[in-house]
A and B are shown apart, each in its own frame.
Chain A
């Protein structure tokens, strides 16, 4: 057992899979010799060499197209898109290419690849380097979308993503890279499509993802300590496939549900989850379905402003209190 940062967990997960399977290769901008702009791939170039860990030009379309062509013909590429916002310049591959080729070709073409992206806000980078794009990815049939919140999940879900035969979008949170957690020694392989109950509770369910998970946990502690409200916190972890059973079972126990989403309001992942809950667990509910999200705005850069708009523990506490007291 070792304490690892989320950033080191990325490298550990990739190294575990590269050591296991010679078909796993890693490409991206500055990921090899420099170890990545977020230092999440440090040591991989030294360990696996220039054939398997390759720097690319600033060509996001070429990076993803190359990953796809390699995947179609037998490799298991991991491609990095440095900031998740840059998905927009190579969106064709997310929207039209990876997810549709299997279907359009009646199963002939397979694209087992992983795209890693530095997602999310909190670094005061402004509106083009801070977005949470999981909802962009979630809306496309054929993609899988994984959003880990802790070092151990990073390792296990990375392994699951690499081994998965479908294209997996793996969203790493930039503001989590420095966070730490215990990670057992040895091989770790998790399962896509499984949510985790991180804190059992009986009064309300809080569904969170990525950076919002530690904030939801902090809020739950405060709600318990200061107000005697016992919240269940679920880390959704995987948007596609989606573990609706864990979520619906929780709602059936607590009868109250909140989402905490970093994405701008419209069409956030929570909207989809809430619609499922409304459809399938309506009669379990004792109150409204409440989404706590970033407002529907581009993210401002200034620290004071960014901190006001991305959900935090105080806002979660206040929203839960207000809702439950109504």
Chain B
């Protein structure tokens, strides 16, 4: 290959979008953590600090109309589809300006208008649901792809295996993305799994290719996503992708992550996806000023969102009884 330029199979524009998205996720998640320390984020929250390249790469490769299915660790995937930071932080802060006005909370971020079809807090539940959305696309001849994100720990629950077989036999346009961050909650995935690569080493059982990628390299993620989406749109069926990564924070906000061996976090921080991506862009000739401008714009965006959320009222009590049923209410009797 000749001298690298900022545009190859990935355009300069897309590369800057990958950078911007990763920085947005990083800043928003860091802010969520800070707000938690100030007791302004209630309930639990599961951050994707360190895993931003996966959310960014898969989302940037999507087309409008493609659908994301996320877990409780879903802030990043939700933001990556273009949901405003204010809507996400508002939900985390139990404010009326939140994505679901506080009715769902951190673990259930959903924005149908952005293609974010839900964040699911029961391990494995959304893999079959993503199959169903993909089945609808196949049934109607729609061209959208359903993309389902989950963790390494999820590969040991039955729904994972049911969904993979189901998607494979029906050749559904669904892409399963395992973010292998080496841990379930507190237990290393290697301690509880029969194979080394919890997702990829199971792919053969469903007639699928064994795909393992560097989940901290946004370009590699984007390329893998594009291939899988094309395959799905061609009607060639599902893909299962295992993206290796690491979470910089604990499992949830309550977790100081004392179970990690010494030096593990530090070594992964050297492979921080955003640091690496910034360095790559600079090497490819993007000017520092351009990147600094993006950094500043995102900082301003997150700051403005925080200010708006702090000023937003709490949700009003009347929404307690709305939307249990399709008539908008909760009546179960006459």
Contact = CB atoms under 8 A, between A and B. Distances in A.
Contacts of B118: 72, 101, 105, 109
A81 interface: no
A93 B131 CA distance: 14
Interface stretch (A62-70, A125-133, A297-305, A306-314): A62-70
Interface string A37-74: 00000000000000100101101111111111111111
B333 A109 contact: no
A61 B158 contact: yes
A245 interface: yes
Contacts of B120: 97
Contact of B332 (A57, A59, A241): A241
B236 to A, nearest CB: 19
A103 B128 contact: no
Given A69-B136, A73-B133, A105-B104, A57 B165 contact: yes
A220 to B, nearest CB: 25
Contacts of A66: 128-129, 131-132, 135, 166
B104 A104 contact: yes
Interface in A193-221: 193
A7 interface: no
Interface in B114-146: 117-118, 120, 122, 124-137, 139-140, 146
A104 B100 contact: yes
Contacts of B323: 102-103, 106-107
Interface string B294-328: 00000000000000000000000001001111101
B75 to A, nearest CB: 15
A289 interface: no
A110 interface: yes
Contacts of B117: 69, 72-73, 109
A74 B331 CA distance: 24
A225 B323 CA distance: 49
A316 interface: no
A106 B136 contact: no
Contacts of A184: none
A105 B162 contact: no
A141 interface: yes
A93 B104 CA distance: 17
Contact of B333 (A65, A73, A105, A241): A241
B112 interface: yes
B326 A93 contact: no
A50 to B, nearest CB: 11
A193 B334 contact: yes
Interface residues of B, number: 52
Interface string A266-293: 0000000000100000000000000000
A178 B110 CA distance: 45
B202 interface: no
B110 A242 contact: no
A5 B20 CA distance: 63
Nearest to B134: A69
Interface residues of A, number: 52
A25 interface: yes
Interface in A97-147: 97, 101-110, 112, 141-142, 144
B333 A244 contact: yes
Interface string B99-118: 11101110010111000011
B159 interface: yes
B173 to A, nearest CB: 12
A165 interface: yes
A195 to B, nearest CB: 10
Contacts of A323: none
B282 interface: no
A179 to B, nearest CB: 29
Contacts of B334: 193, 241-245
A73 B128 contact: no
Given A57-B169, A97-B125, A241-B331, A62 B133 contact: no
Contacts of A74: 136, 140
A281 to B, nearest CB: 14
B189 interface: no
A110 B326 CA distance: 8
Contacts of B104: 104-106
Contacts of B328: 107
B112 A109 contact: yes
Interface string A86-103: 000000110011000111
Contacts of A70: 132-133, 135-136, 139
Given A61-B159, A74-B140, A105-B103, 15 more contacts: A57-B162, A59-B166, A62-B165, A65-B128, A69-B117, A69-B134, A69-B135, A70-B132, A70-B133, A71-B132, A72-B129, A105-B118, A141-B324, A141-B330, A242-B334
Interface of A: 25, 51, 54, 56-57, 59-75, 77, 92-93, 96-97, 101-110, 112, 141-142, 144, 164-166, 193, 240-245, 276
5 contacts: A62-B128, A72-B129, A92-B125, A109-B118, A141-B324
Report, nearest first, the 9 A-B pairs whose CB atoms are least far apart: A65-B128, A69-B132, A165-B326, A66-B132, A59-B162, A62-B162, A69-B133, A104-B104, A107-B323
